Amino acid sequence: MSKDVITGSARGQVSARLLDLSLGGARLHLGTSLEVGAIHDFSLDLGGETVWVQAEVKRCQRSEGDPGHLVGVEFLGIDPKDERLLRQYLDRA
């Protein structure tokens, strides 16, 4: 049996509240912190439509008055179909 240290990562689902949204990114309220610079996949529920984006965490700070965190993300990748849905949602808002 090898005594080498094996590292890896685990994926989990964390609920979030969408506070602000643009074509380039979003501000979220999460119950947990995320590491600045980390890249994650996010699903956004936009009026019944689910949009998937890959985003980099640009900032994360404790939320005042509750145990959550305010997280700013910049979108890095989005499927063209999901980008159309996001544009349509933003145009209606």
Would the pTM of this model clear 0.75, i.e. be above it? Answer: yes
With a cut of 60, say whether residue 1 has pLDDT above it. no
Side-chain half-sphere of 62: how many Cα atoms within 13 Å?
4
55-91 per-residue burial string, b: 16 or more CB within 10 A, e: under 16 = bbbeebeeeeeeebbbbbbebeebeeebeebbeeeee
Residue 25 and residue 74 in contact, taking contact as beta carbons nearer than 8 Å: yes
Q: State pLDDT tens for residues 12-52.
A: 677 889 999 999 999 999 988 999 999 999 999 888 899 99
Token output for 50: 């689910």
Q: For residues 55 and 25, is the Cβ–Cβ distance under 8 A?
A: yes
In which band, very low, low, confident or very high, does the pLDDT at 87 lie, cut at 50, 70 and 90? very high
Ordered by start, the domain boundaries in the chain are 16-92
Pick the CATH number of 16-92 from 2.40.10.220, 3.30.413.10, 3.90.1150.10, 2.40.30.10: 2.40.10.220
